[in-house]
Structure 1
Amino acid sequence: MKAIKKIGLLAVFLMALLVVTACGNSDSKDSNKSNDTKSSQQFKGQTMNVVATSDAYQPLFDKFSKKTGAKVKVLSMSSGEVLARMKADKSKPMADLWFGGGLDAFMQAKTDGQLEKYQSSSVKKIDSQYRDKDGYWLSKGLTVGGFVVNKKVLKEKNLPVPKTWADLADSKYKGEIIMSDPAVSGTMYAIVKGIIDQKGEKAGWEYWNKVNDNISFYGKRGKDPQEKTASGEFGIGIIPVDKMAFDSAKQNNLTVVYPKDGIPWVPEGVAVFKNAPGKKIAEAFIDFMLEPKNMKELAKLDGKDTDQIIMPGVKGLDLGLNKKDLIKENLSTFGSDRKAVLNKWSDMVGDK
Structure 2
Amino acid sequence: MFSRRKWLKFSLRSAIALMLTLVISACVVRRADESNSASTVADSSTAITVYTALEDDQIQNYLTLFQQEHPDIKVNTVRDSTGIVTAKLLAEKDNPRADVVWGLAVSSLLVADSQGMLEPYAPAGLERVRSQFRDERNPPHWVGIDAWMSAFCVNTVEMEKRNLPIPQSWADLTNPAYKNLIVMSNPASSGTGFLSVSAILQMMGEEKGWQYLDALHQNVAQYMHSGSRPCKAAGAGEYPIGISFDYRAVTQKNDGEPIEAVFPQEGSGWDIEANALVKKPQINPAAKTFLDWAITPAISQEYAKSFAVTAVKTDVPIPQGYPQEPLKQLINNDFNWAATHRDRILQEWTRRYDSKSEPKTS
TM-score (normalizing by structure 1): 0.81
Shift of 1:316: 4.6
Aligned ranges 1:56-205 → 2 under 5 Å: 56-68=58-70, 69-134=72-137, 135-205=140-210
Q: Does 1:342 align with 2:346?
A: yes
Q: In the aligned structure 2, how far is the partner of 1:315 from the partner of 1:333? A: 32
* Contact 1:102/1:190 (8 A) holds in 2: no
User: How far is the alpha carbon of 1:246 from its aligned partner?
Assistant: 2.5
State whether residues 151 and 249 of structure 2, in contact with CA within 8 Å, keep that contact through their aligned partners in structure 1: no
Asked if 2 retains the 8 angstrom alpha-carbon contact of 1:57 and 1:298, the reply is no
CA distance in 1, matches of 2:336, 2:311: 17
Determine helix, strand or coil for the equivalent of 1:211.
Answer: helix
Structure 1 distance, partners of 2:338, 2:43, is 36
**Alpha-carbon contact 2:83-2:189 (below 8 Å) kept:** yes
The CA deviation at 1:334 is 2.1
Question: Match for 2:333 among 318, 329, 332?
Answer: 329
Divergent runs of 4+, >6 A: 42-45
Question: Following TM superposition, by how much is the alpha carbon of 1:325 offset from its aligned partner in structure 2, in angstroms?
Answer: 2.3
> 1:280/1:316 Cα in 2 relative to 1: closer, same or farther (>3 Å)?
farther
On the 8 A contact 1:147/1:257 being kept in 2, the answer is yes
1:296 and 1:316 in contact (8 A); partners too: no
How far has the Cα of 1:169 moved from its partner? 1.5
Tell me if the contact between 1:184 and 1:221 (Cα under 8 Å) persists in the aligned partners: yes
Give unpaired runs (5+ residues) of structure 1.
1-41
The Cα shift of 1:45 comes to: 6.8
Task: Sort the Cα spacing of 1:340 and 1:124 in 2 relative to 1 into closer, same or farther, 3 A.
Answer: farther
Partners of 1:340 and 1:346 lie apart in 2 by 10
For these two proteins, the number of residue pairs brought into alignment is 306
Deviations 1:196-221 (A, max 9, x none): 21122222221111111111211022
Amino acid aligned to 2:183: I
Q: Match of 1:216?
A: 221
Comparing 53-62 with 186-195, which one deviates more in the overlay? 53-62
CA contact (8 A) 1:175 1:216 kept: yes
Which amino acid counterpart does residue 231 of structure 2 have in structure 1?
Q
1:127 CA drift (Å): 3.1
Q: In structure 2, the residue corresponding to 1:335 is in which secondary structure?
A: helix
Give the corresponding residue for 2:15: none
1:149, distance to aligned residue in structure 2 (A): 0.6
The percentage of aligned residue pairs carrying the same residue is: 28
Task: Tell me the residue number matched to 1:13.
Answer: none
After superposition, what is the alpha-carbon deviation per residue over 1:282-308, rounded to whole angstroms, capped at 9, x for unaligned?
2112212222222112323xx112xx1
Please tell me the root mean square deviation across aligned C-alpha atoms, in Å: 2.2
Match of 1:312 in 2: 313
Code of the aligned partner of 2:62: L
Using the alignment, how far apart are the partners of 1:77 and 1:71 within structure 2?
19
Pair 1:48–1:314, CA change in 2 (3 A): farther
2:45 touches 2:285 (CA, 8 Å); kept in 1?
A: no
State the secondary structure of the residue aligned to 1:350. Answer: helix
How far apart in 1 are the matches of 2:307 and 2:142? 20
Q: Which amino acid aligns with 1:245?
A: A
Question: How far, CA to CA, are the matches of 1:121 and 1:247 in structure 2?
Answer: 31
SS in 2 for 1:351: helix
Counterpart amino acid of residue 108 in structure 1: V
Distance across 1 between alignment mates of 2:44 and 2:64 = 13
TM-score (norm 2): 0.78
Question: Which residue of structure 2 aligns with residue 51 of structure 1?
Answer: 51
User: How far 1:44 sits from its partner (Å)?
Assistant: 9.8
Alpha-carbon contact 1:120-1:286 (below 8 Å) kept? yes
CA apart distance, 1:263: 1.9
Q: CA deviation at 1:228?
A: 1.2
Segments of structure 2 that go 5 or more residues without pairing to the other structure are: 1-41, 357-362
Aligned counterpart, 1:6:
none
How far apart in 1 are the matches of 2:178 and 2:73? Answer: 51
SS of the residue corresponding to residue 239 of structure 1 reads strand
